[in-house]
Amino acid sequence: MTFAVIPPVLECPAMKQNQRSHDSRKSVRIHQLDALIRSGRCRSAAQAARELDVKSGRTIMRDFDILRGQGAELAYDPQARIWRYLNKSFVLPAMQMSEGELVAIFLAERLMQQYRGAPFEQQLHTAFAKIVENLPEQITVDLSASSNAYTFEVGPTSDFDPANYAAISRAIAERRTLEIIYYVQNRGTQETRRINPYHLHNHRGDWYVIAYDHLRQAMRDFHLSRIRTLTVTEERFPPPDFNRAEYLQAGFDMYRGGEEYDVEIEFDEYQARWIRERREWHAGEEREDLPNGGLLLRMRVAGLEAVKRFVMQYGAHATVRQPAALRAMIAAELCQMCDGYGITRPSANSDRQSQV
């Protein structure tokens, strides 16, 4: 039988949701700051603010006061140039968790089991063990009944070196240029690149580093599984003028770059039922219900290759209205498929006759 423990959570019914959310984020941040101090990596309030993704060092200084209020003897060590605990026995009280939050952790553990053999397996188990160690011991909840109630099926993902992920994370925080040997999939070649890493992005289970490519003098997405070697250089780059949301919205399914297109895809009444189920196919999309029960999907994207693949998976149930370039790409692909299946291509003349 599997047991986990949680404290009672007493809450005023009139408490605002945003206040609960704020308190929860602050509690998590305090524990992250505690871990940063214990690891000897808290060099300054400003540096800790960057690592913990808060607006300013003033927030971290207030968090220092919270830690002191919990009994921590916290001081700056000028020789080591880090913040440290003077009382080594100090331990933060365990975070309070509701039953729903605990079940969420349980479900995360079930999902984690699907990554057996993946590069992150050991790190996931270590992180989960640390979470469990901090669970309070006030109320016991039996999770055995839920153990067979939930399953997760994770699609195929690519292997990569976890050390590369850690190095890229540090390089982003410290704004250090990376030198990598990268396997270019569409050419089947390995190339040396120097990149300024801005952001790590997970797309459908695969990790990408979004970076400025010195060779192309433009932004590029580098798949972590295709990085053969990685070196963190001493070269630092200035704070980037980079809008993550705008950059990701410009592409479709991790394909981006080149001319931007206004795309319109019409789904018939049958396929529209499934298309409507998904909350969002593209961050900037627009939807229009058609009189025949179909659905018109509009979006603006840079690059059409991924959109072509998206449309073709629905066969005759999806038709591209525009742009003409995308219609031509799909028509060419269909012609090649006819050749592959031994189907005679319709001639232009027969097509015109069929329309008469």
Helices 99-112 and 121-133, axial angle in degrees (round to 10): 160
Task: Kindly state whether residues 218 and 137 are assigned to the same domain.
Answer: no
* From 187-196, 221-230, 255-264, 345-354, the region with the lowest mean pLDDT: 345-354
Tokens, residue 104: 């969420």
Last residue of a domain, one of 214, 242, 270: 242
Could you tell me which of 173, 11, 185, 168 has the C-alpha nearest to residue 101? 11
* Same domain flag for 267 and 182: no
Phi, psi at 299, each rounded to 5°: -160, 160
CB contact set of 317 (below 8 Å; sequence gap of 6+): 267, 268, 270, 271
- Same structural domain, 9 and 132: yes
Q: Is 254 within the bounds of a domain?
A: no
| Residue finishing a domain among 154, 177, 197 | 154
Q: Say what the pLDDT of residue 10 is.
A: 34
User: How far apart are alpha carbons 279 and 285 in whole angstroms?
Assistant: 11
- What pLDDT does residue 173 have? 92
Considering the domain architecture, whether residues 232 and 280 belong to the same structural domain is answered as no
pTM over 0.75? The answer is no
The percentage of residues in the chain with a pLDDT greater than 70, rounded to a whole number, is 73
Residue 8 forms part of a structural domain: yes
What's the CATH code of the domain at 202? Answer: 2.30.30.520
Residue 300 covered by a domain: yes
Residues 178 and 296 grouped into a single domain:
no
- Confirm whether 280 is domain-assigned: yes
- Mark whether 16 and 132 lie in a shared domain: yes
Q: Residue 271 and residue 269: Cα distance in Å, rounded?
A: 6
Do 108 and 150 belong together in one domain?
A: yes
Residue 253 lies inside a defined structural domain of this protein:
no
Report pLDDT digits (tens) over 202-216.
888 789 999 999 999
Please tell me whether residues 180 and 202 are part of one structural domain: yes
Look at residue 27 and tell me if it is in a domain: yes
What confidence category does residue 3 fall into, taking pLDDT thresholds of 50, 70 and 90?
very low
* Tally of structural domains, the chain: 3
Domain co-membership, 98 together with 205: no
Rg (CA), the chain: 26
Q: Are residues 185 and 303 in the same domain?
A: no
pLDDT in tens, 17-44: 444 445 667 877 888 899 899 989 999 9
CATH of the domain at 50: 1.10.10.10
pLDDT in tens, 50-84: 888 888 899 999 999 999 998 999 999 999 999 99
Residue 225 per-residue DSSP state: G
Q: Are residues 149 and 170 in the same domain?
A: no
Flag whether 218 is in a domain. Answer: yes
- 136, part of any domain: yes
- Considering the domain architecture, whether residues 150 and 167 belong to the same structural domain is answered as no
pLDDT at 262: 95
Region of 258 on the Ramachandran plot (φ > 0 left; ψ -120 to 50 alpha; else beta): left
Domain boundary (134, 154, 174) is at 154
The CA dihedral of 254, 180, 116, 131, to the nearest 10 degrees, is -90
Q: Which two tokens stand for residue 35?
A: 């871990």
Domain extent for 96: 1-154
Strand order across the beta sheet in which 218-223 lies: 218-223, 206-213, 189-203, 176-184, 227-236
